[in-house]
Amino acid sequence: MAEFSIDRFVDLYAQRTSGMSASEVRALFAVASRPEVVSLAGGMPYVDAIPQEDVLDAVRQVLGTHGMASLQYGGGQGYAGLRDRLLDLMLAEGVAADAEDVVVTTGAQQALDLVGKIFVNPGDLIAVEAPAYVGALTAFSAYEPRYLQIDLDDDGMMVDQLEEALLRGERPKFVYTCPNFGNPAGVTLSYARREQLVSLCRDASIPIIEDNPYGMLRFEGDPLPCLRTLDPENVIYLGTVSKVFSPGVRVGWALAEQSVVQRLVLAKEAADLCGSSFTMMLTERYFAGDRWRRNLATLVDTYRTRRDTMLEAINEHFPDGAMWTVPAGGFYVWVTLPGWFDTQAMLAAAVERRVAYVPGTAFYPDGRGKDQMRLAFCYPTEERIREGIQRLGSLLEDEEQLYRSLHP
């Protein structure tokens, strides 16, 4: 008699991997990435808007200026020239900083992982907005935290809920938020709530992790100050060039005070020694001069038009009872359907009809969000967005009919 295992190392894996399992949703996404499917699922930036010549020029400059050093290891904190350049990007959003307080990471995603690594012990409580960026949840979850979920409304995180939790005696290690056109909800934290959050956390000595990938993709209205601007001491700020230049260069960063920076650098060196010298130098060159601002303006115009197209189409095709957010920037519209919908179960039917979205449950650590979905307008053309929303609308209508027939 022999016992077989799918994986002979199965008894050896760490407890922290126990949440990593195969899922139907992942299997369906394998089909959703096919060209005939209008994918409103993935948040892929529209990199086609970046002129190739601008990138080529930056590449030539890197090789011309740095030569083979661009193919060499670098320091763990990241190429100093890039850290200087990133100050310009942050200043464009009103964040003043010192290059010594910046750690370049492999996308902001690595910064999320490193934050989890240096702050979270198994069982520690951390506060996250609900819904929250799924990549932050997967990064943090590897460190086995407990979650304190703070709901969002149209003004962003409902800080009163956090305050009540603190009054109850809850002590989260940090508060994670994506305050500008956040992923997935597309909502923006109001000015009043920014002040409230910053002051609450400062008084309680709870650091805030401010994740700001979309801040520069504002379609209308005046920018609000970053949390980091409101409290430079208590906010760890995470930035990325993924949405304003390229996700392929994998350049993000963390801005924090020195004690945190030192730990982040050590953790970063333990993870991958250093970032890619070549893409850090390339990114530095791309953001030298003014061309990035012109390209950014093109991106913002494109995304604004796509958002408008999506909202118009949703308005036209979605059934009564559906609600959705109206993002003033970023990539995502967040849809809430009548409570009996199960967007995870419905995904197979959607893919069959050649349209895909991300089911809401992905964005909560506790399985909520069954009746919600995230729709991304960043990548598909206007025509494809209209087509996709129309397909989705007709599916929702059919599902409603089916539901009525099952509940006569």
Which of 227/346 has CB closer to another protein?
346
Least separation in angstroms between residue 20's CB and another protein is 8
CB-side neighbour CA atoms (13 Å) of 216: 24
CA atoms of 111 and 134, how far apart (whole Å): 15
Which of 7/233 has CB closer to another protein?
7
Q: Residue 139 in contact with residue 174, Cβ under 8 Å?
A: no
Q: Residue 306 in contact with residue 300, Cβ under 8 Å?
A: no
- Pairing status of strand 208-211 against strand 235-240: parallel
Q: Residue 41 in contact with residue 242, Cβ under 8 Å?
A: no
Least separation in angstroms between residue 324's CB and another protein is 22
Chain residues in the site for another protein (CB under 8 A): 1-7, 10-11, 13, 21-24, 27-28, 30-31, 34, 340, 342, 345-349, 351, 398-399, 401-408
Least separation in angstroms between residue 344's CB and another protein is 8
Least separation in angstroms between residue 379's CB and another protein is 21
Which of 37/296 has CB closer to another protein?
37
Least separation in angstroms between residue 401's CB and another protein is 6
In 261-298, which positions are buried (b, 16+ CB within 10 angstroms) versus exposed (e)?
bebbbebbeeeeebbbbbbbbbbbbbbeeebbeebbee
Which of 129/399 has CB closer to another protein?
399
Q: Quick one: DSSP state of residue 230?
A: H
Which of 151/398 has CB closer to another protein?
398
CA atoms of 301 and 109, how far apart (whole Å): 26
Which of 168/407 has CB closer to another protein?
407
Least separation in angstroms between residue 92's CB and another protein is 42
- In 3D, which of 79, 193, 86 has the Cα closest to residue 129? 193
Q: Residue 253 in contact with residue 108, Cβ under 8 Å?
A: yes
